[in-house]
A and B are shown apart, each in its own frame.
Chain A
């Protein structure tokens, strides 16, 4: 909290932290990523002031696009108030002089680790994903030279085989996050470890989706109004997760839920993973079976900085 401000009169870092040459290089990669939806563009990822795995790819993408007129939202597993989200949000508030928000509707740039907000995205919004492993085929083929050739020649039989083996072993296509998609019927893409619940939100979305993988040095994109199809079989169609329980705090029956263990006696509650969405619903007067629980108070907006 005591780091120096980065306002124009007293710049400690360049605006938005990265130097201009790095921004240009990343901006060129973003444009090529948009021009070839789902294709992973290699880029010269820089060291960032957080370790790999904490969102270095997403931070570099955001730093290259953000301007003083933007309104920035950052979520981690759907929540605005977790450590990673809070520190990245403060980082950009400080180095890029941007307004921040927790409301999905107000944000122009939404940086996310592993969720797409429940509220529908709008035209003009940009989603920035923090991606640990951009290569959907990496678990099946460890060599980059091979996976690159598989993408070049649209050779995705191995991926279908893997889904088939899952059906043979478990009777369904298993796997809940990072479920592979085909973008514009051409490139196989990892949607990053978002739950497959969120995959349909990528299809024909109003927003632009940018994916940054810092350690793996790849950027890729899904433009608005682009076909994104989750892989499946005719007799084993793609399905998203569903819950028998409603949100214990806001009574929502359609959102993605987190399970929270309450005590040693096995008591638990299911709550919306999207904290801003859940908070908004409670403000509107919705209340679930555990409304008034101590956890109800935890996600009040943090004090303005």
Chain B
């Protein structure tokens, strides 16, 4: 059951959908191919929720009628829901298992196991998590290894609870299944595909 959209309240999307989506996809692809690297996403949009510029631009780039999206509850979810339904035409779901994409904030996390981790024969059907962080530096230090990383990468996104890192490490132990994560702020992202192995630093 979805209420009719009030079009006056909908913020615009990309100024140039073709070139903007291409530019943002290339930066995102770079982030996923080189996990742990902080990639400037250069999102030139005004999203309905301030601070979510990076992840909102990624949502505009990737979402459409084929991709049910899970949104946080409350005001943020409400605002994003109308905006994404208008620009992307994507179904909004409250069932994390059904979500192809999920947009979450570190303040209202769900257990990672709530999301779809794919099928052994079709591991690509898992959820991609777009996780909004206050900053990509200044938090707990973790080191990363795996495909895309030459030796080891070190990141310290802020606001991530220890329990979440533990869940991610558990999720990574069941490769080829797993949830792929994109951490983002207003202007930058870090890709953490399921191949990236995470180690806590003391």
The answer to whether A39 touches B150 (Cβ under 8 A) is no
CB distance from B117 to the nearest CB of A (A): 12
The answer to whether A27 touches B61 (Cβ under 8 A) is yes
Q: Which of B66, B100, B123 has the most CB of A within 10 A?
A: B123
Question: Which size class do B's interface residues fall under?
Answer: 35 or more
| Cross-chain contact of B128 among A31, A68, A227 (Cβ < 8 A) | A31
Tell whether A24 pairs with B64 under 8 Å between CB atoms, given A35-B194, A68-B19, A149-B121: yes
CB distance from B177 to the nearest CB of A (A): 10
Chain B positions 44 through 82: 1 when the CB is less than 8 Å from some CB of chain A, otherwise 0 = 000000000000000001111011000000000000000
Chain A positions 16 through 27: 1 when the CB is less than 8 Å from some CB of chain B, otherwise 0 = 100011011101
The answer to whether A67 touches B26 (Cβ under 8 A) is yes
The answer to whether B147 touches A184 (Cβ under 8 A) is yes
Q: Which 5 A-B pairs have CB atoms at the shortest separation, nearest pair first?
A: A35-B193, A226-B147, A32-B124, A223-B148, A152-B120
The answer to whether A35 touches B195 (Cβ under 8 A) is yes
Cα distance, A225 to B146, chains bound together (Å):
8
Residues on B facing A (Cβ under 8 Å): 17-19, 21-23, 25-26, 28-29, 32-34, 61-64, 66-67, 100, 120-124, 128, 146-150, 175-176, 180, 193-195
Tell whether A37 pairs with B121 under 8 Å between CB atoms, given A31-B28, A223-B148, A224-B148: no
The answer to whether B32 touches A31 (Cβ under 8 A) is yes
The answer to whether A67 touches B195 (Cβ under 8 A) is no
Give the residues from 6 to 52 in chain A that come closer than 8 angstroms, CB to CB, to chain B. 14-16, 20-21, 23-25, 27-37, 39, 41-42
Cα distance, A41 to B150, chains bound together (Å):
25
Tell whether A226 pairs with B29 under 8 Å between CB atoms, given A23-B21, A27-B62, A28-B67: no
A172 at the interface (CB under 8 A from B): no
The answer to whether B123 touches A36 (Cβ under 8 A) is yes
A110 at the interface (CB under 8 A from B): no
Cα distance, A242 to B168, chains bound together (Å):
46
Tell whether A27 pairs with B25 under 8 Å between CB atoms, given A35-B195, A39-B123, A226-B147: yes
Chain A positions 147 through 179: 1 when the CB is less than 8 Å from some CB of chain B, otherwise 0 = 011011100000000000000000000000000
Q: Using Cβ atoms and an 8 Å threshold, which residues of chain B touch A247?
A: none
Q: Interface size on A (CB < 8 Å)?
A: 43
The answer to whether A20 touches B17 (Cβ under 8 A) is yes
The answer to whether A20 touches B128 (Cβ under 8 A) is no
The answer to whether A21 touches B149 (Cβ under 8 A) is no
CB distance from B166 to the nearest CB of A (A): 21
Cα distance, A32 to B176, chains bound together (Å):
11
A208 at the interface (CB under 8 A from B): yes
Q: Using Cβ atoms and an 8 Å threshold, which residues of chain B touch A227?
A: 147
The answer to whether B23 touches A35 (Cβ under 8 A) is no
Tell whether A184 pairs with B195 under 8 Å between CB atoms, given A34-B29, A225-B147: yes
With A20-B18, A24-B21, A153-B120 known, 5 other A-B pairs at CB within 8 A are A15-B19, A37-B195, A42-B122, A65-B29, A225-B148
Chain B: CB-nearest residue to A35:
B193
Cα distance, A286 to B170, chains bound together (Å):
56
Cα distance, A28 to B193, chains bound together (Å):
13
Q: Using Cβ atoms and an 8 Å threshold, which residues of chain B touch A224?
A: 33-34, 148, 150
| Cross-chain contact of B121 among A14, A34, A36, A148 (Cβ < 8 A) | A148
Tell whether A20 pairs with B176 under 8 Å between CB atoms, given A34-B29, A36-B123: no
CB distance from B83 to the nearest CB of A (A): 17
Q: Using Cβ atoms and an 8 Å threshold, which residues of chain A touch B25?
A: 27, 64-65
Q: Using Cβ atoms and an 8 Å threshold, which residues of chain A touch B66?
A: 25
Chain B: CB-nearest residue to A29:
B124
